[in-house]
Structure 1
Amino acid sequence: MTTALQQQVFALDARYNAHRAPQSPNFRTLYIRRRSQLLREANSRSTEKWKQYLKIRSQLLQQRYGNLKLEHSSVSGSLASLGNQSNEKSGIGSTPSGSVVPTKNAEASKALVGGTTIGENYAFVGVHHIFDQHTQAVTMIKFANNDKSRLCCSSLDHTLSICDVSSNPPSVISILRGHTSAVSGFDWSVNNDSIVSCSLDGTAKVWKVEDYSCLRTLNDPNNAQILCCIFQPTNNNLILTGNNKGELRIANVSTGRFLKNVCKIGGQVLSIASDTNGHVFWVGNDKGEIFSVFCELNGSLTRTKKISLPTSCWVTSLSYRAWISREGRNPLLLVNATDSSVYIFSVLNYEGYLGLKRKFQNRHQRYTVRSTFCPIMSFREGACVVTGSEDGCIYFIDIERIGSKSVVNTLQGHSSAVLGISFNYDESLLATSDLQGLVIIWKKGNFSQK
């Protein structure tokens, strides 16, 4: 209970921090980091004292700054112009469409999480660290594969950064410079020895993680803005990119050239995801369309199926996950869209056909908000996904529950739209990034196993 109240105090400070010293962003960052440190050290207070402190601090801040509503700052650069200007208001909710979790009695999966409840599994209650190395919005964050400590961030400030969250204190290892415009996305190779990044400057760059040097620069053949990229999972010498001219392309890292084969998607290609074997890719655009694309061994791309969301909107994030246990059936595709929705689709066959399983409401109408599956998909009471939101909150959603009960945890600490989100592999840390360039590392609460 005390830890939850500490989080509420931190969220209150973070909300008002955007209005403190508006001309001094560095001061605001130092202030909120110090507040986080002080709150972590103040564990001796009783629950009643924390309640009283929260009430008094809320009153003082309201007297000083007024009763604020969460406001979003504008984003500079080309990514800002890709928004949906709808004013529809929404909250978190869900619409059932068949069972998602294959069985309620999956013993193998229960053992992975120590027999705890869903709420306990995802009780991220404390701030581990706050990074502020980027001067503009952090568009995407991602932990290295099967890694607890290395985190990569991309930003509108034209750079990427590599962080070590396990060092004491956590530190920025390297800043990757070379793009001349906003970095829209990136991906780690399977063995984490390289990173591919893409930018609105029309290039994709391959970085060597050993010394963080630029190994290769790939130029889009049509000089288009590259909006998303991903390694071919089974052949990291190949990279798939999506651009603002509706093209899905494959590049060869060794030759530094794009293959002649082009898959026409239409609109602007905003997001890409792949199955485990790299046979099927899913591609989302700015028209509310998701395409299944089959990738052959020679790099040839073939569209197999298209589904359209109920409204013409942006598909800003796609994430694939197969059930971790043999008790599972169909893999799932997680989708964020600017119609204020998070969708869960079942992957029905080897060609990537999709069937809608769930739809949840989320505040998402304008920015490239992302979501992710929790790495350990327990079947005890359901499975969880975590999504950013334009109201500055991070929502943990049990995809098997209905209505408002689907939200099993909410983190409040950002004072602007939450864009990026990533777990490390054992779920001990969660990283989130926002429109103002802050990256918050959250730590999981400690619960005794049942």
Structure 2
Amino acid sequence: MEVEIGVCGDEKDEEKKKKSKDPEFLSCMMQPATAESDPQYVGIRRILLHRKSESGAISRRYDWRCNGKGYVAYRNFISRPRKWENLRTPSLLSSPGNSGRWLPSPSPLSHQFEAESFTSSRDLRSVNQVSSRRASFSSSLSDGEHPYRSGGVEHAYSFVGMHCIFDQCKSSVTVLKFGHMSSDLLAYGASDGTLTVCSLSEEPSVLKQLIGHSKDVTDFDFSSNNQYIASSSLDKTIRVWELSRGVCIRVIYGVSAQFCIRFHPVNNNFLSAGNANKEVTVFNFSTGRLIKKLMFDGEVTAMDHDHTGQIIFCGDGQGTVYSVSMDSHTGSLSRSHRHRTNHKSAVTTVKYRSFSLLASGPVLLTCTQDGNLCFFSVALQIKGYLTLRCSLKLAPRIHRIQASFCPLLSLEKGEYIVAGSEDSNVYFYDLTKPKHTCVNKLQGHRFPVMCVAWNHGENLLASSDFYGVVIVWKRAKTSS
């Protein structure tokens, strides 16, 4: 009899445990004790409590599944910071917010947009709202509720999912690029000093891991034939790598941290680098010898060449953007134009594009660490004179987050920009739409997205985050 009583006791305990976890039981227990309670209030309270317990279970299942990548998701789940959900919930002041004028009372959909304000040097006429599909595998809105769907037509960048994921890196991926005119050669540098070269063919794989830098890789660039990579680092060195053998063939030692580096687009024997000593230096690729250097007002944190190789565009640690003339034969430098801004934050992105419909000519994109994205038209006839066409105020960044053009789509209509963000999403913006600038969002990362890069055909977009995960997104084929 004692055994039977023990079994019955165990069964009762199990029933109690089940009841204590049952949402219906919880709802009943939380009801007001008085019989005169308002039945409408009681019903609403029961519904809310029931939904709350269900949403917690769904959230846990989603966290652990993460689109079928079980190990990666579980590793990120157990290693995430404490109170992660609270950290991911943005405040009203620094949240994505409305991408047009900031309203005192945000709309219910305002959390979907990452831009805070939009300013333009002229009146940009707002065209029809661009509809888009979010590329995440879970959505908080149904198809009928999506703010950018109209008549079942999808514009902007639509994605069909993830092409592949690289997660072997154990530290933050600080820079990410595709090979020159390449659709399947990808490389990325990390804060542990490593450079990883990958192939994105039918079976994505890691080709080489280049180890040599002792501190963060801040930037790198492919040569025009993709046979070499030149990289810069906080360890004050520039390294040149031969990809076929995966070895470092030259080390150039500097006196300060190296922040950015570029091959000359016409004469690949020239390497231009910006450093913490407020200099842009030009090196001979074959010998490693210093050819020329030019001083600036602040640390040179980002740079890019124009397509002719005659102008270098630089950004410094105080938010100033410079145009520098360069001789393609001798490598000599001369500063020709300077554009100062009101904000004193480091420039994280400088991207040149040879043609834009919005500006009817070459354009320059810059992004600063405090979230100011600027779009300039470039006058090549007067040595790269910059005219600000429009600017976009994003949420302030803690990390060195970068942005990029979307060239192919921008040739059709609009001017599209893609950027990472602190809230772990990848955002797309159309600079021709002052009121509804954000047109799409990709969800898949769990940590701040540091870098984004397109391949040559723009059918693949790569993004990297603060914890070393690189996701390659596959863009949907358009009917056109």
From the superposition, tell whether residues 330 and 311 of structure 1 become closer, same or farther in structure 2 (CA, over 3 Å): same
**Identical residues among aligned pairs (%):** 32
Say whether the 8 Å CA contact 1:14–1:415 is kept in structure 2.
no
Determine the C-alpha separation between the residues in 1 that align with 2:118 and 2:161. 27
**Is 1:202 the equivalent of 2:236?**
yes
- 1:359 paired residue number: 391
**TM-score normalised according to structure 1 size:** 0.75
Determine the C-alpha separation between the residues in 1 that align with 2:345 and 2:315. 10
The secondary structure found in structure 2 opposite 1:69 is helix
Q: Deviation digits for residues 23-78 of structure 1, max 9, x if unmatched?
A: xxx98526489x9xxxxxxxxxxxxxxxxxxxxxxxxxxxx989543189xxxxxx
Determine the C-alpha separation between the residues in 1 that align with 2:376 and 2:268. 27
- 1:128 paired residue number: 163
Say whether the 8 Å CA contact 2:462–2:473 is kept in structure 1.
yes
**Is 1:245 the equivalent of 2:277?**
yes
Determine the C-alpha separation between the residues in 2 that align with 1:269 and 1:159. 22
Q: How does 1:231-242 map to 2 (within 5 A)?
A: 231-242=263-274
From the superposition, tell whether residues 306 and 188 of structure 1 become closer, same or farther in structure 2 (CA, over 3 Å): same
Determine the C-alpha separation between the residues in 2 that align with 1:66 and 1:138. 20
Structure 1 stretches (4+) deviating beyond 6 angstroms? Answer: 11-15
Matched letter for residue 264 of structure 1: M
Q: Deviation digits for residues 88-129 of structure 1, max 9, x if unmatched?
A: 66641422323789x99xxxxxxxxxxxx9953411241121
Q: How does 1:247-326 map to 2 (within 5 A)?
A: 247-259=279-291, 261-296=292-327, 297-323=329-355
Determine the C-alpha separation between the residues in 2 that align with 1:371 and 1:419. 9
- 2:210 paired residue number: 176
From the superposition, tell whether residues 248 and 171 of structure 1 become closer, same or farther in structure 2 (CA, over 3 Å): same
Say which of 239, 242, 248 aligns to 1:214.
Answer: 248
| CA shift for structure 1 position 17 | 6.5
| CA shift for structure 1 position 406 | 1.7
Say which of 223, 227, 230 aligns to 1:189.
Answer: 223
| CA shift for structure 1 position 235 | 0.9
Say whether the 8 Å CA contact 2:415–2:432 is kept in structure 1.
yes
**Is 1:420 the equivalent of 2:454?**
no
- 2:122 paired residue number: 98
Deviates further, 355-364 or 286-295:
355-364
Matched letter for residue 213 of structure 2: H
From the superposition, tell whether residues 364 and 167 of structure 1 become closer, same or farther in structure 2 (CA, over 3 Å): farther
From the superposition, tell whether residues 348 and 383 of structure 1 become closer, same or farther in structure 2 (CA, over 3 Å): same
Say whether the 8 Å CA contact 1:181–1:201 is kept in structure 2.
yes
Say which of 342, 345, 348 aligns to 2:376.
Answer: 345
CA RMSD of aligned residues (A): 3.2
Compare relative contact order (CA 8 Å, sep 6+) and give the higher one, 1 or 2.
Answer: 1
**TM-score normalised according to structure 2 size:** 0.71
Say whether the 8 Å CA contact 1:15–1:413 is kept in structure 2.
no
Say whether the 8 Å CA contact 1:363–1:391 is kept in structure 2.
no
Say whether the 8 Å CA contact 1:347–1:354 is kept in structure 2.
yes
Deviates further, 335-344 or 87-96:
87-96
Structure 1 segments unaligned to the other structure (5+ residues):
1-10, 21-25, 36-63, 73-86, 105-116
Say which of 234, 248, 261 aligns to 1:229.
Answer: 261
- 1:113 paired residue number: none
- 1:138 paired residue number: 173
- 1:70 paired residue number: 88
Matched letter for residue 183 of structure 2: K
The secondary structure found in structure 1 opposite 2:72 is helix
| CA shift for structure 1 position 447 | 4.3
- 2:410 paired residue number: 378
The secondary structure found in structure 2 opposite 1:120 is coil
| CA shift for structure 1 position 446 | 3.9
Determine the C-alpha separation between the residues in 2 that align with 1:67 and 1:219. 44
Say which of 390, 400, 413 aligns to 2:432.
Answer: 400
The secondary structure found in structure 1 opposite 2:283 is strand
Determine the C-alpha separation between the residues in 2 that align with 1:71 and 1:214. 44
| CA shift for structure 1 position 445 | 2.3
- 1:164 paired residue number: 199
- 2:72 paired residue number: 29
| CA shift for structure 1 position 364 | 3.5
Q: State the aligned residue count.
A: 371
Say whether the 8 Å CA contact 1:138–1:153 is kept in structure 2.
yes
Say whether the 8 Å CA contact 2:156–2:439 is kept in structure 1.
no
| CA shift for structure 1 position 15 | 9.0
From the superposition, tell whether residues 12 and 273 of structure 1 become closer, same or farther in structure 2 (CA, over 3 Å): farther
Determine the C-alpha separation between the residues in 2 that align with 1:118 and 1:99. 28
